[in-house]
């Protein structure tokens, strides 16, 4: 190794000034969102009652390839961006692989994950449009934490519906949100119709992301000057996350390499899209042939075992119908520790790209993911988020394949967050208590019964 540079850092002035909107370059545009009742195609204006107007427009924008990052948002990005790109020499050594492994370290954000990249943008647009209150849901708590900080930064009040099981199992994430000034309610709650309906039917229900989304949307649509914000799945969220890949592209150039494979874990697709889309634009232009791998949990396998259908984004059917790979909005994923990956559907853009074979999904069992995460912690010194462990496991698979085939490839994965508030999950793994879950074909069939074939 002649060049042992480990960390590739960008100066502040090279933080991107624009996000990349892949919709402008897609040869086949995503199918439209549909009205939940009439099934008519929606326009951006139809989303205004739920989301801020700028994000609603970004959601459906298929024409502008580059979208300006507002100065106020870019200024706050400077608190933690550009994030480092790191060559994982120690991990390579442990795996005895000829592959070159790089990771983009989004865990250095003040809240510990990539989620802040979109939270700051969404809070800024709400503020600019005169919104005073924001609602959202959170599963494991990363999104709620990011939005709590972002709302504080722009002087907005935030109400978070936190999935009940996480509310009880992850008290520190709740404290974090409260520290940033958010109001946190366990979901299902008695404060909304949607919550009451669930509790009446199933008093011991531990909640799900789908139910929490229904509660947050209901509060937003029934409260003046209040908007809802979502931390994944939607196109505008992935758009904001492209700051990751745009930086990584410059940093790979500094390293004098280009990735053969770009890998990220997959919940709704925002960190995957964030790192992948900027690299994929060169594939779409015909100048590169990078491969893209989305690592999902075997317990929630929408990319590999789901169906492309129109489905709701939430449990109660308040959201528009989205054309996506889904397990059905009534699918109840097993309670794995990577809470951020327990979502039934995949983002609309990614679903279209997957149909065209421009990426592939891989399923990872939780024990394999934590095994890779522990190896990463012991070699690179960072405890990864349980979600990020899936990306690491997929990278390890590729690196070991390179070793078997005696082939050197350049692998780039996104470290979406750190796991310092997820140590109970590591405890379970280290004491051998973790169980691997995969739904049966019947469970998947049952979940899909609620989706709409169009």
Ligand X SMILES: *Cc1c(COP(=O)(O)O)cnc(C)c1O
Q: Does 385 bind ligand X (CB under 6 A)?
A: yes
Q: Does 299 bind ligand X (CB under 6 A)?
A: no
Report residue 327 as tokens: 């397990």
Distance CA 164, CA 138 (A): 10
- For ligand X, which residue of 67, 265, 372, 448 counts as binding (CB under 6 A)? 265
Six-digit token string for 452: 């709409």
In angstroms, the CA 424 to CA 165 distance is 14
Q: Could you give the CA distance from residue 354 to residue 81 in angstroms, rounded to a whole number?
A: 30
Nearer to ligand X, 100 or 268 (CB): 268
Q: Site for ligand X (CB under 6 A): how many residues?
A: 20
CA 105, 106, 110, 113 torsion: positive or negative? Answer: negative
Looking at 84, 267, 320, 373, which residue binds ligand X (CB under 6 A)? 267
Residues 295, 315: Cα–Cα separation, whole Å: 24
CA angle 191, 194, 200 (to 5 degrees): 85
Residue 115: CB minimum distance to ligand X, A = 5
> Does position 115 bind ligand X by CB under 6 A?
yes
Angle of helix 386-405 relative to helix 366-380, nearest 10 degrees? 80
CB of 251 to ligand X, least distance (A): 20
Contact between 416 and ligand X by CB under 6 A: the answer reads yes
| Region from 63-71, 199-207, 211-219, 270-278 binding ligand X, contact rule CB under 6 A | 270-278
- Measured from the CB atom, the residue of 348 and 402 that comes closer to ligand X is 348
Contact call for residue 373 and ligand X (CB under 6 A): no
> Shortest approach of ligand X to residue 6 CB, angstroms?
22
**334 vs 452, which CB is nearer to ligand X?**
334
Closest by alpha carbon to 260, among 83, 81, 405, 417? 405
Q: What CA–CA distance (Å, rounded) separates 326 from 202?
A: 24
CB of 138 to ligand X, least distance (A): 9
Which residues, numbered 209-238, are part of the site for ligand X (CB under 6 A)? Answer: 232
**CB of 358 or CB of 446, closer to ligand X:** 358
* Sequence-distant (≥ 6) Cβ neighbours of residue 217 within 8 angstroms: 50, 135, 228, 314, 318, 319
Write down the least CB distance from residue 45 to ligand X, Å.
26
Is position 104 an interface residue for ligand X (rule: CB under 6 A)? no
- The site for ligand X (CB under 6 A) is made up of 113, 115, 142-143, 232, 265-272, 340-341, 385, 387-388, 416-417
């Amino acid at each position: 190794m002649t060049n042992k540079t480990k960390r590739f850092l960008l100066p502040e002035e090279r933080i991107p000034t624009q996000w990349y909107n892949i919709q402008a370059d897609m040869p086949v545009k995503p199918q439209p969102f549909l009205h939940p009742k009439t099934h008519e195609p929606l326009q951006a204006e139809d989303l205004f009652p739920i989301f801020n107007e700028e994000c609603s427009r970004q959601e459906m924008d298929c024409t502008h390839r580059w979208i300006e990052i507002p100065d106020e948002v870019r200024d706050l990005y400077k608190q933690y961006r550009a994030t480092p790109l790191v060559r994982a020499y120690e991990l390579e050594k442990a795996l005895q692989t000829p592959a070159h492994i790089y990771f983009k370290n989004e865990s250095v954000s003040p809240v510990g994950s990539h989620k802040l990249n979109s939270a700051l943008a969404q809070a800024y647009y709400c503020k600019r449009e005169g919104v005073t209150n924001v609602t959202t849901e959170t599963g494991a708590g990363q999104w709620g934490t990011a939005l709590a900080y972002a709302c504080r930064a722009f002087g907005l009040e935030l109400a978070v519906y936190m999935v009940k099981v996480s509310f009880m199992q992850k008290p520190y994430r709740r404290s974090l949100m409260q520290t940033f000034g958010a109001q946190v309610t366990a979901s299902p709650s008695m404060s909304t119709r949607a919550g009451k309906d669930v509790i009446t039917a199933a008093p011991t229900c531990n909640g799900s992301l789908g139910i929490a989304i229904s509660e947050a949307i209901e509060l937003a649509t029934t409260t003046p000057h209040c908007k809802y914000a979502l931390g994944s799945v939607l196109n505008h969220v992935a758009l904001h996350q492209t700051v990751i890949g745009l930086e990584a592209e410059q940093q790979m150039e500094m390293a004098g390499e280009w990735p053969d494979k770009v890998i990220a874990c997959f919940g709704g697709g925002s960190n995957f899209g964030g790192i992948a889309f900027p690299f994929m634009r060169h594939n779409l232009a015909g100048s590169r042939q990078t491969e893209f791998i989305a690592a999902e949990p075997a317990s929630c396998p929408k990319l590999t075992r789901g169906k492309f259908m129109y489905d709701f984004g939430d449990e109660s059917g308040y959201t528009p119908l989205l054309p996506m790979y889904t397990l059905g909005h009534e699918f109840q994923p097993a309670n794995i520790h990577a809470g951020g990956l327990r979502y039934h559907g995949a983002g609309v853009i990614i679903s279209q790209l997957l149909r065209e074979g421009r990426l592939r999904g891989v399923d990872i069992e939780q024990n394999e993911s934590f095994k890779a995460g522990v190896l990463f912690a012991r070699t690179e010194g960072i405890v990864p988020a349980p979600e990020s462990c899936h990306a690491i496991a997929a990278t390890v698979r590729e690196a070991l394949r390179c070793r078997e085939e005696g082939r050197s490839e350049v692998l780039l994965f996104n470290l979406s967050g750190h796991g310092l508030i997820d140590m109970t999950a590591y405890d379970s793994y280290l004491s051998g208590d973790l169980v691997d879950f995969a739904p049966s074909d019947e469970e998947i069939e049952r979940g899909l019964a609620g989706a709409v074939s169009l």
